Homo-oligomer: A and B are copies of this chain.
Amino acid sequence: MLPPPPWHYSGDLLTVEYRTDPEAVASLLPAPLRVVGEQDDPGAVAMIFADWQSCGDDLAELDDPIRSQYKEAFVVVRCQYEGQVYSRCVYIWVDKDFALVRGHFQGYPKKLGSIWMTRPVTLGKAGPRVGPGGRFAGTVGYYDRRMVDVRVTLREACDSNGFVNGHAMLHSRFMPAIEADGIDSLDELVTMRGIDVELGQAWRGDAEIWFGESPVDEIERLAPLEVIGGYWRSVATTFAGGSLVDPHHTDRHHIAPHRADPHQEPGEPA
């Protein structure tokens, strides 16, 4: 289904940053990860919509775009670990199976959803322009229920499309033991960061955000208290692998960390 990395991505991001109760963020972080300090806006959350094309190094998927295009919506918080601040994806929906499987490998807790995002146009009435007054919407549906609605009206060019998703990612990759006995066969902390990143002009503006309820979704745990801002930006990035940070980070570990070199220090890249 997937070629080996590197995987290239080009697309547009629609972001709404908002504040939730920092306790809610804390409740989603497994020890020893902790929320960032008071001075660092610990309840800040980024709800991000992405309309991607992606492909392997031979670009084959671009000739068969059903295997190249996908949309995703993901929720990012920050955490601290061993004195460093990371971004961490806590919820994510995608609309293709290749993106789901790729995401599980990367430690994204992906589910399959129905994701939609207004696209900018350059002609006519049926779409916004990327510029002042441009109005963009993003929505998520999951098992027949609307889970997320955001709307952003751009006001001005700016330097960045938010601060919550600006750090290296710190993800957990885990696999419960086949015995289904509460023990994990795999429980790793991994970090990754895009390479060859290209950034278009960022825009910011006013935003609204709404979360729905569902018996099979828990996004309402991060209910918005206050909107920080809305952003739009084109980006491109390449994923060429990440690094194992710590295979022993919780007391659930029953895996030995011998993968690369017994003399290697924990937390170093392999």
Contact = CB atoms under 8 A, between A and B. Distances in A.
A215 B64 contact: yes
A174 to B, nearest CB: 9
A141, A178, A247 pick with most chain B CB within 10 angstroms? A178
A32 interface: no
Contacts of A4: 180
A181 interface: yes
Nearest to A177: B259
Instruction: Classify chain A's interface size.
Output: 35 or more
A63 B266 CA distance: 37
B267 A175 contact: no
Given A67-B216, A199-B123, A180 B97 contact: no
A266 to B, nearest CB: 6
Interface stretch (A17-25, A80-88, A113-121): A113-121
Interface in A127-145: 127-128, 135, 137-141, 143-145
| Copy total for this chain | 4
Closest 6 CB pairs of A and B: A124-B236, A141-B144, A256-B256, A97-B112, A254-B259, A180-B241
Contacts of A200: 122-123
18 contacts: A9-B124, A10-B124, A53-B126, A59-B125, A64-B137, A65-B137, A67-B216, A105-B175, A114-B144, A123-B198, A177-B244, A178-B192, A179-B243, A247-B259, A253-B270, A254-B259, A257-B258, A257-B270
A238 B125 CA distance: 9
Contacts of A121: 10-11, 53, 234, 236
A186 interface: yes
B146 A65 contact: no
B257 A247 contact: yes
A55 B256 contact: no
Contact of A144 (B9, B107, B122, B145): B145
Nearest to A52: B126
B258 A243 contact: no
B247 A254 contact: no
Contacts of A242: 178-180
Contacts of A143: 64, 66-67, 141
Nearest to A59: B125
Contacts of A104: 104
Interface in A34-86: 52-55, 59-60, 62-69
A127 B243 contact: no
